[in-house]
Each structure stands twice: as C-alpha cells, then as structure tokens.
Amino acid sequence: MKAYSYHDIPAEPAEGMPGARIRWVIGENVGAPNFATRIIELDPGASTTYHTHPWEHEVVVLEGQGAVRDADGRAPLEPGTVVYVEPGEEHQFLNVGDTILRFVCVIPNPQPAQET
C-alpha cells in the first residue's frame, strides 16, 4: 500500500491548454497496472480542448465551479459532481468560476500520446 498527499506530486502544465495542469497521482509512479488517477486543475477561464478518444473518463469534482460540454450541451460542475465520459464521446471541461476548478480524473493506463 502507498499513501501520500496529492500535493506531493508536481502539477505539470497540460500541453496546448493554457491555464491547465495535471498531477499524475496514481499510475506508473506506484506501479498501478490498470488505471491512472489524475488531478486536473483549471485556472479561472481555462478549459481543456474539445476532444475525443477511445477510452472512458471517470471524474469527481473536488472544488470550484465549471461546466462539462458534449455534443448535446453543457452540464454544471461543482464540488461533489461526478461525470462519466463514454469512450469516443466529444467533451470539454471548462472553469466558469473565479477560483481553480480541481477534479479527479481516472482513465485506463495511458498509452503513448494520451491526453486529457
């Protein structure tokens, strides 16, 4: 077992997404064989790209105010909101508040060149 604070993992800038950072908190760093858990941080006004990929996301919002967008519209995000993004579903996370939007995002272990 490994227990530590996610604050101990550096937040890395997310490529091509100004104001977005990723902390790879559980995955390769502890030898997790199946899933990667990340903490995503979006500054006020920042967003992820509108994108799709063949794997799912499981998301739990920790703090801040935001929205998640898909082809059908937007849903609000606040602490306690959970989001399931299906494989192949276009999506985008946006910070619409005045503070950092921070959420946990679980994905299958990344293959080379996976993104948010």
* Cβ contacts of 63 within 8 Å, gap of 6 or more: 79, 99, 100, 101, 102
- pLDDT, residue 49, reads 95
pLDDT on residue 101: 98
Residue 110 pLDDT: 72
Q: Which two tokens stand for residue 92?
A: 């985008």
Tell me the pTM: 0.91
Q: Is residue 113 part of a domain?
A: no
Residues 6+ apart with CB under 8 A from 21: 11, 12, 13, 14, 40, 41
Does the residue 5 lie in any domain? no
Q: Which of 105, 109, 93, 94 is closest to 33 using CA atoms?
A: 109
Q: What is the pLDDT of residue 111?
A: 63
Give me the domain span that covers residue 62.
11-76+88-108
Spell out the per-residue pLDDT of the chain, length 116, in tens: 999 999 999 999 999 999 999 999 999 999 999 999 999 999 999 999 999 999 999 999 999 999 999 999 999 999 999 999 999 999 999 999 999 999 999 999 876 555 55
Q: Domain holding 41: CATH number?
A: 2.60.120.10
Q: Please tell me the distance from the alpha carbon of residue 93 to that of residue 97, in angstroms, as a whole number.
A: 12
pLDDT of residue 112: 56
Q: What is the pLDDT of residue 84?
A: 97
Query: For residues 28 and 32, what is the distance between their CA atoms, to the nearest angstrom?
Result: 6
- What Rg value do the Cα atoms of the chain yield, rounded? 13
Decide if 70 is inside a domain: yes
